[in-house]
Structure 1
Amino acid sequence: MNDKDQKQLGKTLWAIADQLRGAMNADDFRDYMLSFLFLRYLSWNYEEAAKKELGADYPDPNAIGNGGRTPLSVWYADNAADVPAFEQQMRRKAHYVIQPQYLWGHIVHLAKTQNDALLDTLQQGFKYIEEESFQSHFQGLFSEINLASDKLGRKYADRNAKLCAIITEIAKGIADFSTDVDALGDAYEYLIGQFAAGSGKKAGEFYTPQQISNILSAIVTLDSQEPKAGPRRSLPSVFDFACGSGSLLLNVRHQMKAAGGSIGRIYGMEKNITTYNLARMNMLLHGVKDTEFEIYHGDTLTNDWDFLRENNPAKKPQFDAVVANPPFSYRWEPGEAMADDMRFKNHGVAPKSAADFAFLLHGLHYLKDDGVMAIILPHGVLFRGGKEAAIRTKLLKDGHIDTVIGLPPNLFYSTGIPVCILVLKKCKKPDDVLFINAADHFTKGKRQNQLNDAHIERIVSTYRVREEQERYSRRVPMQEIIDNDFNLNISRYVSTAEKEEEIDLSAVHADLVAIEKQIVEAKKRHNAFLAELGLPPLP
C-alpha cells in the first residue's frame, strides 16, 4: 500500500470513529476502536499463516457461501482429530492461535446480521486471546474494554446493537484497502495520533509526536561512539522506561530496518494500565512477535520491575540504547531511602517538585558503557538550581552529557512549552558539549507547530558530524560551561538573534556634512528665485 492509501485508510477509520462515538468520551471510544483493529490484524495474520500451513487443504472461501462460516471453521469441523497438531504448528510458526469463532470474519458476520450473540462472543474471544492464544499470555490485554458499559447502552440489546454498528462500519471502511501488517499498523498509529490530538493534556501519557520520535530514533540508531560513521548495523537491545503506546520503540525498530540493520529485543515500561495495553497491542499489530518484546506494567520511579532490580552487578540488565519521553516536571515522593538507591547514589535525588532528573538517572543507570541515550525533557533541567544543579554538575563533570538540542515551542498535544533533547553517553569521546538551537526552525500549524523533514534532517546531520553553524549549533568547551556555573541554558551558548549592523561613525559624519552642504546650496537657489519674484528671502 502506498503512503497516500495508508493515510486515506487512517482518515477513513477516524471519520468512522468520529461519526459513531456519539456522546462517548473520545478516550473511551479509542479503546474500542483500537481493540477491534487489533482483532482484525490478529485474524488476518493468523489466517494468512493458516493458508501456508494447510496449503491445498485450506477451504476455498468462495465455496463456503455467506452463512458466516470462515474457511478455518469449515476445516476445524471437517478435521477435528487434526486440530491439536495444527494448533501446535501455528503456535510455533505464527506464535499464537485463534479459534474460528473468534476470528474477525465471524465477528463481522454476527455484526452485519445483528446477531444477539455478538456481545457474548466478543467477551469470550477477548478472554481467549488474553489467556490462551499466546504462549507468554497477555493477561488484561483488553481490561480497559468494558463491553458491559452503560456508555454502549443501558440494556444488553442496546449494547449489542451499538457494537454491531461499530464493527459493521469498520469492516466496510477497511474493505477497499489492503490491510496487511504495515497498512493496519500505520492506521493504528494514525488513530492514536488523532485521539491524542483530541484529548489535550491526557495525550502526553501515551503519545510522542512522530516528528520528535523521528529525531530520537535517528540519534540512537547511529553509531553510538562515532555517529559520523552512520547507522549502526545492529542494535541488540533498546529500552523506553516511559513507553506510552510504544510508538517511540517502534520508530527505533523501523529506523534500524530501513537502514538495513537488525534489532534485537525491545523493552518498555509503562505505569498507566490503558496505555500499557495499547503498547502491547501496538507491538503485535506491527508484526513484533511476542518473543521479541517485553512491556512491563509498573512505576519507573519506584523501580518495581524485578527484572531491573538485579543486585548482582554482573547480571544487571543494560541496554544498547535508551529512549524516553517521560512526564514533564512530574511531582513525586522520593522518600529518604531513595538516597541509597543505586540509580541515584552517585548523583543525588531529584526534588519532589520535578522528577525529570530521576527519570534521566534511571535510564542512564541501565545504559551500557558504549550505549547512547536520548531523552525529551523541559528546558528547566538545563538551568534550575538546588538539587537539580548538583545533579547537572555531576553529570557534566563525569562527561555524560554529549549534546543539548533545543526544540521549538508547541510541538506537543499536552503542552505548549519548548522542550529539549539531551543525548547522554557513559563514555563519550568529545571533551565538549554540542549545543543545537533549533527553536526558530519549524512550520507553524493551526494547533501544533510542525517539524518538516528538512528540519529533522538538519538536527540529525548536525549531531552526526558535530558541525558548528552560525546561530544554530556550537561545540562548547567544558571550561566555558564551568565558567557559567554549569548552566546549560542554550541561548547562553547559541543565540539565534541577528547581529546588529555595525555603524561607521566617520562615514555617517561625512554623509551629514554632505547633506548640510546640499541644503545650503538649495537654499541659495531658492532665495534667488524669490528675489526675482520680489519676495523676501528665507532666513
Structure 2
Amino acid sequence: TILSEIVTLDSQEPKNGKKSKLAQVLDFACGSGSLLLNVRKQLGAHGIGKIYGQEKNITTYNLARMNMLLHGVKDTEFEIHHGDSLLNDWGILNEMNPSKKLTFDAIVANPPFSYRWEPTDTLGEDFRFKSYGLAPKSAADFAFLLHGFHFLSDNGVMAIILPHGVLFRGGAEERIRTKLLKDGHIDTVIGLPANLFFSTGIPVCILVLKRCKKPDDVLFINAAEHFEKGKRQNRLLPEHIDKIVATYQFRKEEDRYARRVSMGEIEKNDYNLNISRYVSTAKTEESVDLNAVHAELQAIEKRILQASSTHNQYLKELGLSLIG
C-alpha cells in the first residue's frame, strides 16, 4: 500500500495529491500481481492506461494473469510477461531507439532480496547498467533497481523494496549508489520495521527514485519503531502507513522520525545512506548535574550520621552495644 500510494502522488509536487491518470505502470518482479492491483485500486478502474508485469516463476506468472482477470482487469488492459528481468528477455523492453523506448509513469517492485546472479561482460555493456556498472554477483539488488529505473519516465516515480544493505555496502554497490545520488535520482529513503514479511525477518527499506526531482536533498523516514507487534510477524497499521505517506507527501520533518538531509552532508558521509546516521530513534539521555548529585549525597550522609547518633543514644540508655 505504501508503494502504491507514493507512486500515484504527483511526482514533482506530491503535496498536490494524486495524479488523475497513469499511462503505464510496471512491476518487473510482479509475483501474483498484488502491487500492480494496489496501484490500480488507488486510481480506480480507469486510472491506468495499461498495466505491465514480469515474473520469472511460471506458476506465479499464471497466478498474476488470473489475478488480473479476477479483479476485473480486461485482457487488453494488462500484459504480464514470463521471463527474467535481469536478462531483460522481454522484447518490448529491448527497443534500442530512444524515441521508441517504452517508459512508465509508475514503477513498483519487491524483488528477491540479495539474489545471486551472473553478471557477465555482455551485461556490463547492457544499456541498463553501462552508465552505473554491475551489481555484485552476491546481491542483485541494484541490478533490479537499475533495470526498473531505466524505464522510468521523466515525470515518473519508482518505489522499490530492498534490504538495508543497499544503503551502505561498499564496492560496486557504493559506486552505483553514489552515481544515483550525484545525479539527483534518489528522492526518499524509508526504513521499515523488521519482520514484516513471511520470507525474511530482516528490516527492509523503500527507495523512492525520480528522473527529475525538485528538492536538492534526500528525505529520510525512520519508521522502524512504528508497528504493531505480532507473534510471528509484525504489522503496519493504517495509521503507520498514513504517517509514512503523509511525511513523504508533505516532506515533513519530525524528531526521531524524519529529516531532510542535504547532499553536502551525505557527501561528507561518503554517500552512505544508513538511515540511523541521519535519523536516530535513540532517546536523548537527560544530562546529570554532578554538583547537585554530590550535594544530595552529602546531605544524605549528614542525615545518616545524625540518625546514627540518635540511635546510639537510645542504645546507651538501654545498656546495649553502640553501632559503629
Q: What TM-score results when the alignment is normalised by the length of structure 1?
A: 0.59
Distance of 1:429 and 1:510 partners within structure 2: 56
User: Which of 474, 489, 497 lines up with 2:259 in the alignment?
Assistant: 474
**Corresponding residue of 1:351:** 136
Report Cα offsets for 1:186-223 as digits up to 9, x if no partner.
Answer: xxxxxxxxxxxxxxxxxxxxxxxxxxxx1101111111
Distance of 1:416 and 1:442 partners within structure 2: 14
Structural mapping, 1:31-50, within 5 Å: none
Distance of 2:81 and 2:321 partners within structure 1: 98
Aligned: 1:511 with 2:263: no
**Corresponding residue of 1:336:** 121
Aligned: 1:219 with 2:22: no
Structural mapping, 1:291-370, within 5 Å: 291-370=76-155
Q: CA deviation at 1:538?
A: 2.9
SS, match of residue 314 in structure 1: helix
Q: CA deviation at 1:255?
A: 1.0
SS, match of residue 469 in structure 1: coil
Aligned: 1:400 with 2:185: yes
Distance of 1:515 and 1:431 partners within structure 2: 57
Unaligned runs of 5+ in 2: none
Distance of 1:353 and 1:528 partners within structure 2: 79
Q: CA deviation at 1:231?
A: 1.3
User: Which of 25, 40, 43 lines up with 1:238 in the alignment?
Assistant: 25
Of stretches 515-524 and 482-491 in structure 1, the one that deviates more from structure 2 is: 515-524
Aligned: 1:270 with 2:55: yes
How many pairs align? 324
User: Which of 34, 37, 42 lines up with 1:255 in the alignment?
Assistant: 42
Distance of 1:390 and 1:454 partners within structure 2: 36
Distance of 1:273 and 1:291 partners within structure 2: 21
Q: CA deviation at 1:531?
A: 2.5
Aligned: 1:379 with 2:127: no
Q: CA deviation at 1:412?
A: 1.1
Structure ranking higher in strand proportion: 2
**Corresponding residue of 1:166:** none
Distance of 1:536 and 1:416 partners within structure 2: 65
Structural mapping, 1:74-85, within 5 Å: none
Distance of 2:169 and 2:139 partners within structure 1: 10
Q: CA deviation at 1:332?
A: 0.9
Distance of 1:536 and 1:288 partners within structure 2: 95
Aligned: 1:438 with 2:223: yes
Higher RCO, 1 vs 2 (CA within 8 Å, ≥6 residues apart)? 2
SS, match of residue 99 in structure 2: coil
Q: CA deviation at 1:521?
A: 1.6
Q: CA deviation at 1:267?
A: 0.7
Aligned: 1:448 with 2:211: no
Distance of 1:353 and 1:531 partners within structure 2: 82
SS, match of residue 529 in structure 1: helix
Aligned residue type for 2:120: G
Aligned residue type for 2:38: N
Q: CA deviation at 1:514?
A: 1.2
Aligned residue type for 2:211: K
Distance of 2:274 and 2:161 partners within structure 1: 15
Aligned: 1:526 with 2:311: yes
Percent identity reads 73
Report Cα offsets for 1:311-360 as digits up to 9, x if no partner.
Answer: 11011001100000111111111210112111111111111111110110
Aligned residue type for 1:412: F
Q: CA deviation at 1:536?
A: 4.3
Distance of 2:252 and 2:291 partners within structure 1: 38
Distance of 2:86 and 2:249 partners within structure 1: 31
Q: CA deviation at 1:534?
A: 2.8
Aligned residue type for 2:219: L
Alignment RMSD: 1.3
Distance of 2:230 and 2:318 partners within structure 1: 66
SS, match of residue 22 in structure 2: strand
Aligned residue type for 1:422: L
SS, match of residue 238 in structure 1: strand
Distance of 1:218 and 1:275 partners within structure 2: 24
Distance of 1:446 and 1:513 partners within structure 2: 50
Q: CA deviation at 1:228?
A: 1.2
Distance of 1:269 and 1:538 partners within structure 2: 85
Q: CA deviation at 1:533?
A: 1.8
Aligned: 1:228 with 2:21: no
Unaligned runs of 5+ in 1: 1-213
